[in-house]
Amino acid sequence: MTTSPIRTGRTGAGTSTVEATIAARRAAGGGALVGYLPVGFPTLTDSIDAAVAIASNGVDVLELGLPYSDPVMDGPVIQAATQQALANGFRLRHGFEAVAAITAQVDTPVLIMTYWNPVLQYGVDRFADDLAAAGGAGLITPDLIPDDAQAWLDASERAGLDRVFLAAPSSSDERLVQAVTRSRGFVYAVSTMGITGARSDVDSAARVLVSRLREAGSTSACVGLGISTPAQVREVLQYADGAIVGSALVKALSDGGVAAVATLAAELAAGARDIRAAV
């Protein structure tokens, strides 16, 4: 399948739209806000509306999670949401439908977050082609390490898609270099060991991890797991290029619907816009 260059994760100059978006936010004196929502929760239509709403209220990069039956990294809020989506009949093709519907309404780059097994089952090249055709920017693959990613490296290169690998506080220096050199878009810096979920304090290990990523050559590192308030977004953006918020947005959508998640997105975005004023 051939895809139009307008419908991929690259700009006309061959640069990742995700990376360009993050760089623009940093140049403006703030940082990027990456917002996660699962596809199909509470319904497919609602998940599309919610993604458009948070993009329209300040989220710079959208991360859409594909519901999966064995979500080893997901905390209870996201697990409950994805299990509901699966119970409602979510199928992988709905992910592409959601991306196409969202990118038709907003210019915000859309990354899919997925465990690797669904991609393998679907077919790596087929997945890359269908994601690019839908207007997607790339993949975040939490359980795929760079050593085992050659098939995805090849497919994403051909299709013009970003690939976001994870880096953890426990990662060796060698592993961090691999994550930096093989990621495109950004490196996902896991703030603390464990599963996703809002925390009162973002682990201080995140600051050390981002420093190590800088030493490994990273110019685009985003911190995730545990960020839930505008103050935490502002804190993280003192040293990182982006802050990733997931569970707090999913909880807002669960508790108050699209209007509530839009309101929270606007509040979080306010914490990302001018970090120079932060103490």
Q: Which residues contact 146 (CB under 8 A, 6 or more apart)?
A: 165, 175, 178, 179, 182
Q: What is the pLDDT along the chain (279 residues), one digit of tens a residue?
A: 333 333 344 544 457 999 999 999 999 999 999 999 999 999 999 999 999 999 999 999 999 999 987 655 667 888 899 999 999 999 999 999 999 999 999 999 999 999 999 999 999 999 999 999 999 999 999 999 999 999 999 999 999 999 999 999 999 999 999 999 999 999 999 976 444 444 445 567 899 999 999 999 999 999 997 899 999 999 999 999 999 999 999 999 999 999 999 999 999 999 998 675 554
Nearest to 70 by CA among 123, 114, 122: 114
Catalytic residue numbers? 63, 74
Per-residue pLDDT at 159:
97
Q: Are 235 and 203 in contact (CB under 8 A)?
A: no
Q: Which residue has the tokens 């839009």?
A: 262
Q: Are 65 and 113 in contact (CB under 8 A)?
A: yes
Q: Are 189 and 156 in contact (CB under 8 A)?
A: no
**Distance from chain centroid for Cα 155:** 19
Domains of the chain: 17-271 (3.20.20.70)
Instruction: Tell me the C-alpha distance between 208 and 275, whole Å.
Output: 19
Q: What is the crossing angle of helices 247-273 and 44-56, to 10°? A: 10
* pTM as predicted: 0.90
Instruction: Tell me the C-alpha distance between 193 and 202, whole Å.
Output: 11
Per-residue pLDDT at 72:
56
42: cis peptide before it, omega within 30°? yes
Query: Which residues face 190 on adjacent strands?
Result: 224
Task: Give the strand pairing for 242-245 and 221-224.
Answer: parallel
Say what the alpha-carbon torsion angle 184, 176, 174, 138 is, to the nearest 10 degrees.
-30
What length is written for the chain? 279
CB atoms within 10 A of CB 129: 18
> Which amino acid is residue 259, in one-letter code?
A
Instruction: Tell me the C-alpha distance between 158 and 176, whole Å.
Output: 24
CA angle 184, 189, 192 (to 5 degrees): 160
Tell me the C-alpha to C-alpha distance, in Å, between residue 55 and each of 61, 188, 266: 8, 20, 9
> Which amino acid is residue 177, in one-letter code?
V
Per-residue pLDDT at 148:
95
Tell me the C-alpha to C-alpha distance, in Å, between residue 69 and each of 79, 86, 102: 9, 8, 24
Instruction: Tell me the C-alpha distance between 127 and 136, whole Å.
Output: 11
